């Protein structure tokens, strides 16, 4: 082998050596990235846990571990057709003890509007919008912001929807100047077309309605909250809708029902047609006489009649027969809620908002801790 051959051989060995070094460095870098990624994934995520406290439960909030929640949503302060607030709940005057007890936990009053005609009247008029905004801001003085729960079904005029979006932009600006937050409760299907991408950008958080797949007036009995399926009321479908509008996952909470419905049905077939409107049930018994509209609890019913589970939705239900015919009650329990909490974690959402606090008899507080506080 001549000198030139030696040089060629040496050069080849050097190239091979350098290539191995570069390959080794690349492997180290990949391993480091994977390690850092795994460590990032392992980092504890702080999920938002919100709870709606209904004014009709009065002082029952004293039984709730408020420290478990990042935010208590006082439900509710209704909005009247003239843009003023209906002070049936007397917020915040009669709720000073709750306000004091919630220190360290954010607190927001929830302003509600459920009538399409009233929505049109208020938001198609700039003066009405200004009156409403002024009144709302005045009532957030002891709070950390506010939530709008405007549930309008069916189309509204372009004038009122444009007016509402201007209202949202102005409200966001005024609240932010005071260091306060704006959140929105949004329906699974925004049939009124209130929210486009720009409108939703005004919200610090949105809470997606996670219930009423079957409701009081539903033609059939059935699950109150459904995770999967093609229905617009499923968690899958509603989440996809709001993600498509550009809402970040870390600004989305799913609302979870602590209530259910009981219907008279034409047979004992699960999901049978109903015989008229249903009635609301709580999961746990409520204090006698406190909420006359809720005359039964799922716990009491299943203690008497047993519990069944729908294989399609995982929802629990019970069936019994009284002197008027068959009755079905559908609700949420620890097993069905666990599946929903897993959904929130898997989808990397901000968290959950339970409605209403107190209807569970504190039976689900440890479940919330297990999924979102450990």
pLDDT at 27 over 70: no
Report the C-alpha gap between 276 and 28 in whole angstroms: 68
199 pLDDT higher than 70: yes
Is the pLDDT confidence value at 313 over 90? yes
CA dist 159 and 36 (Å) reads 51
pLDDT value at position 82?
87
CA distance to 97, 224, 350, per residue, from 91 (Å) = 12, 30, 28
Band of pLDDT at residue 7, cut at 50, 70 and 90: very low
pLDDT value at 34 more than 60 = no
| Share in percent of the chain as helix, strand, coil (round to 5) | 40, 20, 40
Q: Over the stretch 44-92, which tens digit does the pLDDT of each residue have?
A: 589 999 999 999 999 999 999 999 999 999 999 999 988 889 888 999 9
Residues β-bridged to residue 112:
78, 149
Q: How far apart are CA 317 and CA 213, in angstroms?
A: 14
Residues whose CB is less than 8 angstroms from the CB of residue 159 and which lie 6 or more positions away in sequence, other chains included: 124
Q: Are 48 and 70 in contact (CB under 8 A)?
A: yes
What is the CATH topology of the domain spanning 48-255+334-372? TIM Barrel (3.20.20)
Are 240 and 83 spatial neighbours (Cβ–Cβ below 8 Å)?
no
pLDDT tens digits, residue range 227-239? Answer: 998 788 999 999 9
**If you compute the radius of gyration of the chain from its CA atoms, what whole number of angstroms results?**
27
* 351-355/48-54 β-pairing: parallel
Distance of CA 313 to the CA centre of its chain: 19
């Amino acid at each position: 082998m001549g000198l030139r051959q030696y040089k060629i051989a040496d050069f080849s060995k050097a190239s091979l050596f350098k290539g191995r070094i570069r390959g080794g460095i690349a492997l180290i870098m990949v391993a480091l990235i994977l390690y850092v990624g795994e460590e990032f994934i392992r980092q504890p995520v702080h999920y938002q846990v919100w709870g709606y406290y209904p004014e009709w439960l009065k002082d029952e909030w004293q039984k709730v571990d408020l420290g478990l929640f990042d935010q208590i949503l006082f439900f509710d302060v209704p909005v009247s057709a003239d843009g003023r607030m209906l002070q049936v709940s007397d917020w915040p005057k009669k709720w000073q003890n709750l306000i004091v007890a919630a220190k360290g936990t954010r607190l927001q009053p929830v302003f509600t509007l459920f009538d399409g005609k009233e929505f049109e009247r208020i938001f198609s008029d700039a003066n009405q919008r200004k009156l409403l905004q002024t009144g709302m801001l005045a009532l957030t003085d002891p709070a950390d912001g506010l939530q709008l729960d405007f549930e309008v079904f069916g189309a509204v005029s372009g004038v009122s929807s444009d007016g509402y979006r201007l209202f949202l932009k102005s409200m966001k600006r005024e609240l932010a100047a005071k260091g306060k937050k704006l959140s929105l409760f949004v329906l699974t299907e925004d049939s009124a077309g209130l929210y486009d991408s720009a409108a939703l950008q005004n919200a610090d958080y949105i809470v997606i309605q996670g219930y009423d797949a079957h409701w009081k007036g539903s033609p059939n009995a059935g699950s109150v909250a459904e995770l999967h399926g093609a229905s617009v009321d499923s968690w899958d479908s509603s989440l996809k809708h709001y993600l498509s509008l550009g809402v970040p996952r870390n600004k989305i909470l799913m609302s979870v029902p602590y209530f259910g419905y009981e219907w008279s049905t034409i047979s004992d077939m699960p999901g049978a047609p109903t015989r008229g409107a249903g009635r609301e049930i709580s999961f746990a018994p409520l204090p006698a006489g406190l909420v006359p509209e809720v005359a039964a609890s799922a716990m009491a019913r299943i203690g008497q009649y047993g519990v069944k589970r729908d294989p399609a939705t995982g929802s629990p239900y019970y069936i019994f027969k009284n002197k008027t015919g068959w009755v079905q009650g559908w609700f949420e329990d620890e097993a069905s809620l666990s599946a929903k909490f897993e959904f929130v974690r898997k989808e990397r959402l901000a968290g959950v908002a339970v409605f209403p606090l107190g209807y569970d008899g504190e039976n689900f507080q440890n479940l919330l801790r297990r999924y979102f506080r450990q």
